[in-house]
Amino acid sequence: MTTETSHPSVAAVRSTEEQYVEVIGLLEEQNSPVGTAPIAENMQLAMPSVSEMLKRLADKGLVTHAPYEGASLSEKGRMLFANVIRRHRLWEVFLTQHLGMSWHNVYEHACRLEHGTLEPVTARLGSFLGNPEYCPHGSPIPGADGTWPPSQGQPLLEMPIGSEYQIVRILQENDADCLTFLFERDVMIGTVVRLMDIASYDGTVSLDVSGKPVAMGTRVASRLRVTPIVEMRGNASGEST
């Protein structure tokens, strides 16, 4: 903190590095440290490319990385991560709320915009949007100071069968195919679903989405985060469209 940069987005941080930090940070939310393979798969790169870059990120102090043991974001890396995610998710909010784009395909566009967004624009974009705390997929948006709003929702698969829940978050928002799958079945943030069954054989999950049956595998279902809905007789709640 001597003559160092105060805003990670401004200084000598290459756009490629930001992308790596973003992916590593997101993967680390699932399990840490992150191996080379998941990063390579996520970024559609060959493993040696990732291996090499991890070394360079470690040199820059953005990650800690002992060979054969995966990578974790350093303190500096986590600060950059929060900043990148903030930019990313603010753009997602802009793209959906103001440009009318659909939540299931804004990830890629936000990804492209985030790396060209310097701090003055980030700050003003935040104000313009009303400093939202959650992105269109329900994930938290770090504040300008790097603090995270609480994560919302509990895993749908851990909830008792038979009750109704409102979807408040869909994880792994960078998996476009998964989001499209859900989008086409009207499963999105705010949707009220009733958990009908989790098949003991292969784990297939059956939902009722405002009267329509929807089935999905555990891989998809495990990404849904919900809050319980208080059951009211005679009114199945009114947030379907």
Q: Which residues bind a second copy (CB under 8 A)?
A: 95, 98-101, 109, 112-118, 120-121, 124-125, 127-128
What does 100 interact with, of a second copy, DNA, none (CB < 5 to 8 A by kind)?
Answer: a second copy
Q: Between residues 13 and 95, which has the closer beta carbon with respect to a second copy?
A: 95
What does 199 interact with, of a second copy, DNA, none (CB < 5 to 8 A by kind)?
Answer: none
Q: Between residues 116 and 213, which has the closer beta carbon with respect to a second copy?
A: 116
Q: 7-28 in b/e burial notation, b at 16+ Cβ within 10 A? A: bbbeeebeeebbbbbbbbbbbb
With beta carbons less than 8 A apart as the criterion, state whether 93 and 136 touch. yes
Q: Between residues 36 and 117, which has the closer beta carbon with respect to a second copy?
A: 117
| Positions in the binding site for DNA (CB under 7 A) | 14-17, 35-37, 44-56, 65, 67-68, 70
What does 101 interact with, of a second copy, DNA, none (CB < 5 to 8 A by kind)?
Answer: a second copy
What does 88 interact with, of a second copy, DNA, none (CB < 5 to 8 A by kind)?
Answer: none
Residue that is written with structure tokens 């991560």 in the block: 81
Identify the CA nearest to 114 among candidates 80, 146, 140. 80
Q: Between residues 115 and 223, which has the closer beta carbon with respect to a second copy?
A: 115
